[in-house]
Amino acid sequence: MILGDKIMNLRKKNSWSQEELAEKLGVSRQSISKYESAQAVPDMEKILKLSRIFGVTTDYLIKDEIEDLEFSEEDFEEDKKLIKLSMEEANEYLDLKEVSGRNIAFGVSLCVISPVTLLLLSQAYESNLISVPENVVYGISLTVLFLFVIGALGIFIREAMKLKKYEFIENEGIDTAYGVDGMARDRAEKIHDAYARDNILGVLLLVASVIPIFIGMIFSVEDMPMMISVVVMLFLIAIGVNLLIRANTFMNSINAILEEGEYSKKNKKLKGKLGPFCLIYWIAATGIYLAYSFLTNNWDRSWIVWPLAGVFFLIYYIILKFIFENKIEY
């Protein structure tokens, strides 16, 4: 029995239409029709996926001389562990992530610009532009800084609680109901232009954020104009980061449903291993920031800990991924 006949028989055995099998395999209905009529042969990646979908061995599919069904117990056991994701759940999850992306992006922007008041008022005080006691300057500045950070933390906690019931989509293997993959791909197609635009603008703003510093160096070497340049730089960074987070949060949610890219099954397992180490890193970074700030009382300079922590986190994450990637059995 040839491969095309086996695909057709297995499809009918499961009472699936060509459209349903195409949805599960990630191809068009016309491709399934061509496979079944022997007008085309699926590549090895598709054969492996067909093996998993039908729960049979690859030998049964590709060897014409094997006509008796050879079931893959391993594949069946894996399928039992998958969590079913309905169309209603998938739509609600994507809607929540779209709103959550905007809110989280705003929260991150608040964190980026939180030291602005501290920078301006402390420099104004040191330049004798304001005649108020030093304790008033730092009292107001630190109050504003912590209010911004507290507001951002409140946003992060609220969004995490709203999405808690859908954590399994990003962390566990899922089995999507009929039509879910197609819906997710349609939504990805609709936002593709906006996704590309926001990523381009975000990156350009981050690169251009140093320009105010150069302009400040050209026109003035005084402390206050240079500090204003730093503030403008922070606002450009905040806008750039906002655009990147908004665009990528929603696209990542689509990838989580499709189990593609960073949300493939093997990467979900890897993420589970790396999660505790990432948490430890950011707890340590927070401890360093607070310890340095309180011991030196240089609150107007200690904010630099966070951009440095962000840069070093990328290096830290790459090292962790390299260490754990070969130790996980997929």
Question: pLDDT tens digits for the chain (330 residues)?
Answer: 788 888 888 888 887 888 888 888 888 889 999 999 889 988 888 888 888 888 888 888 888 777 766 555 554 444 546 788 889 999 999 999 999 999 999 999 998 898 899 889 988 888 888 888 888 988 999 899 899 989 999 999 999 999 999 988 888 888 888 788 889 999 999 999 999 999 999 999 999 999 998 888 877 656 788 888 889 999 999 999 999 999 999 999 999 998 887 787 777 777 767 777 877 887 888 888 778 877 887 766 776 787 788 778 878 878 887 777 665 544
Domain 3-62 belongs to what architecture?
Orthogonal Bundle (1.10)
Burial of 129 by CB count in 10 Å (0-12 exposed, 13-18 middle, 19+ buried)? exposed
- pLDDT value, residue 105: 93
- pLDDT value, residue 127: 84
- pLDDT value, residue 261: 77
State the Cα–Cα distance between residues 286 and 170, nearest whole angstrom: 26
Look up the pTM and report it: 0.68
Exposure pattern of 294-320 as b/e (b: 16+ CB <10 Å)? eeeeebbebbebbeebeeeeeeeeeeb
Of 149, 77, 81, nearest to 112 (Cα)? 149
State the Cα–Cα distance between residues 149 and 120, nearest whole angstrom: 18
Enter the DSSP assignment of 28.
-
Contact 22, 28 (CB under 8 A): yes
- pLDDT value, residue 81: 63
Amino acid identity at 206: L
Q: Cα-flanking dihedrals φ and ψ of residue 85, to 5°?
A: -120, 115
Contact 58, 69 (CB under 8 A): no
- pLDDT value, residue 140: 92
Of 209, 205, 207, 210, nearest to 240 (Cα)? 205
Q: Cα-flanking dihedrals φ and ψ of residue 321, to 5°?
A: -65, -40
State the Cα–Cα distance between residues 9 and 24, nearest whole angstrom: 16
Question: Domain segments of the chain: what residues?
Answer: 3-62, 87-258, 272-330
- pLDDT value, residue 174: 84
- pLDDT value, residue 77: 46
